[in-house]
Amino acid sequence: MIIYTSSTEDINPENLQGFFVGWPNPPSTQTFLKILKQSHEVVLAVDEATDNVVGFINAISDGILSAYIPLLEVLPEYKGRGIGSELVRRMLRKLDGLYMIDLVCDQELQAFYTKIGLKPGFAMMIRNFKKQSGK
């Protein structure tokens, strides 16, 4: 059974294995835990049988006007179960009332987010892959 929580209190690096698939310089599990703990909001999907995090979403925000959702990921073996959609829905409820909630995604992911109520837009970005690990 998958449970959803916004608490990182009982999460440790050992519960965060297997994320950032395909990243050339993924953050360590210790850095990943710091990302979660220092986010404005977080929602975790936890496999109750193992206590491992199997999906997550985080948001950074000023808490007044705007929020940005930088990361959403579900472990490959848990995909197709609606976990990603549920994570987004829960995060959007947490951020309800803000003027703008933005995220940037690859074009092939736009249909997923559109089904949940987000609208396509334009973005500008810089990607410094040397700093991708968070070090």
If one counts every other C-beta atom within 10 angstroms of the C-beta of residue 116, the result is: 14
If one counts every other C-beta atom within 10 angstroms of the C-beta of residue 115, the result is: 10
pLDDT, average across residues 121-132: 88
φ, ψ of residue 9 in degrees (nearest 5): -55, -45
Q: Where are the domains of the chain?
A: 2-131
CB distance 40 to 61 below 8 Å: yes
Structure confidence at residue 84 (pLDDT): 98
Give the fold, CATH level 3, of 2-131: Aminopeptidase (3.40.630)
Burial 57-86 (b: 16+ CB within 10 A, else e): bbbbbeeeeebbbebbbbbeebeeeebbeb
What one-letter code names the amino acid at 89?
R
Task: Compute the C-alpha angle 78/82/84, nearest 5°.
Answer: 75
Q: How far apart are CA 66 and CA 82, in angstroms?
A: 26
CB distance 94 to 6 below 8 Å: yes
- Does 132 score more than 90 pLDDT? no
Average pLDDT, the chain: 95
**What tens digit of pLDDT does each residue of 49-98 get?**
999 999 999 999 999 999 999 999 999 999 999 999 999 999 999 999 99
The token duo for 57 is 């979403």
pLDDT, average across residues 125-129: 87
What one-letter code names the amino acid at 38?
Q
- What's the chain's length in residues? 135
What one-letter code names the amino acid at 49?
A
- Does 129 score more than 90 pLDDT? no
Confidence of residue 127 (pLDDT cuts 50, 70, 90): confident
